[in-house]
Amino acid sequence: MEFRPLGRSGLRVSALSLGAMTFGDSTTFMKGLTSPDDEARRVFDRAVDAGMNLVDTADVYSEGRSEELTGQWLKGKRDRVLLATKCRFPIGFGTRHAGPHDQGLSRKHIIEACEASLRRLGTDRVDLYQMHMQDGSVPIDETLRALDDLVTQGKALYVGCSNYTGYRLVESLWSADRNRTHKYISVQLQWSLAVREAELEVLPACRAFGLGTLVWSGLARGFLTGKAQRGQSPPPGSRLAAWRDSLRAFDNDRGWGILSAVEEVARRRETTASAVALAWLLARPECSSVLVGARTVEQLEDNLKALDVKLTEEDLKRLNDASKLELVYPYGFINLREPW
Ligand SMILES: NC(=O)c1ccc[n+]([C@@H]2O[C@H](COP(=O)([O-])OP(=O)(O)OC[C@H]3O[C@@H](n4cnc5c(N)ncnc54)[C@H](OP(=O)(O)O)[C@@H]3O)[C@@H](O)[C@H]2O)c1
């Protein structure tokens, strides 16, 4: 396994890490799409054996059950694994009433959510505590000061964010500088051959300010595995079958063009589509680690193949050309003078 620095922090993360969103029976957005506990346990064990040293969960995944299972399985392995979790959204959202302090990035919610996560995880500290999405209704200084307290108390060793816009990310860094608090070391973001918008703002900000990146949905929720083909229904029971809007976003000439480029390169490299799609991310210098979502050990084994794929210049050109982003204003305008 290759280890990469997480931004300018002292943490070293495995190039592929384990996403725990498929752990635990869910009653909300992942309903019917998670692994049975015994299979999830095998996925976890195999990931650690393969050298993955970071597990990413969140308080909302399977309404806390993902954190509980992760905590149980970490027993005896805690020193081998960096534990990352998140807060921001109300647990059970959409299915139960959430009060104003059951969500968001206020000091009240952050401190309470962190303590609840530690209880479920059965530990006294997480290695990386991440804000799951920006919250424009709370002053950024309040959020950063609450996180600084958690770091000072030893409940979180590092703090990161996820689903931030470029301006809010930079505002957070300014706040930390101004108030001399701990700052975000990493951004967790959606990035794949099919979804490249992070390249417009957030990735340039990460490059400029030295933040690490943890990539989510690197396989575009399964689309880049090739399990769905044009004009055919996706396999029953798969995420793409359940999340029709996700599939609709790729069900167009650009999406199918990207998949054919991935499949063509996979044939050339004698590997699988998933391995090529993940290898494309691993070839990007801004990528610290890709969070692998694997519902079964078989899927995990397939995704691990990405570590052995060496894409050539020709492969990269084929993939980049097929997935090229339309550069809207001002990026397209700037691109006339400075390649974006
Ligand atoms: N910060 C955020 O807002 C955010 C959001 C989403 C995820 N995340 C994190 O990122 C992790 C990964 O995200 P993701 O699950 O969306 O990633 P993904 O890799 O794009 O999708 C994973 C899904 O694709 C299918 N799949 C994966 N590997 C496969 C293979 N080799 N062959 C066939 N099918 C395969 C499985 O679904 P089926 O078997 O159901 O088809 C699996 O559940 C999560 O666990 C979580 O830690 C964070």
Q: Which residues contact 257 (CB under 8 A, 6 or more apart)?
A: 322
Task: For residue 185, count other CB atoms closer than 10 A to its CB.
Answer: 23
Could you tell me the residue ranges of all domains in the chain?
3-221+283-296
User: pLDDT of 144-192, one tens digit each?
Assistant: 999 999 999 999 999 999 999 999 999 999 999 999 999 999 999 999 9
User: pLDDT of 216-256, one tens digit each?
Assistant: 999 999 999 999 999 998 999 999 999 989 899 999 999 99
- Residue 274: CB within 6 Å of ligand 1? yes
- Residue 225: CB within 6 Å of ligand 1? yes
pLDDT higher than threshold 80 for residue 15: yes
Phi, psi dihedrals of residue 118, rounded to the nearest 5°: -60, -40
In sequence order, what E strands does the chain have?
3-5, 12-14, 16-19, 54-56, 82-87, 126-131, 156-162, 184-190, 212-216, 289-292
Q: Which residue has the tokens 């990352």?
A: 84
* Residue nearest ligand 1's atom 38 by CA: 238
Taking the centre of ligand 1 as the mean of its atom positions, its distance from the CA of residue 6, in whole angstroms, is 21
**Considering the entire predicted model, what is its pTM?**
0.96
- The answer regarding whether domain 3-221+283-296 maps to CATH 3.40.50.300 reads no
pLDDT higher than threshold 80 for residue 94: no
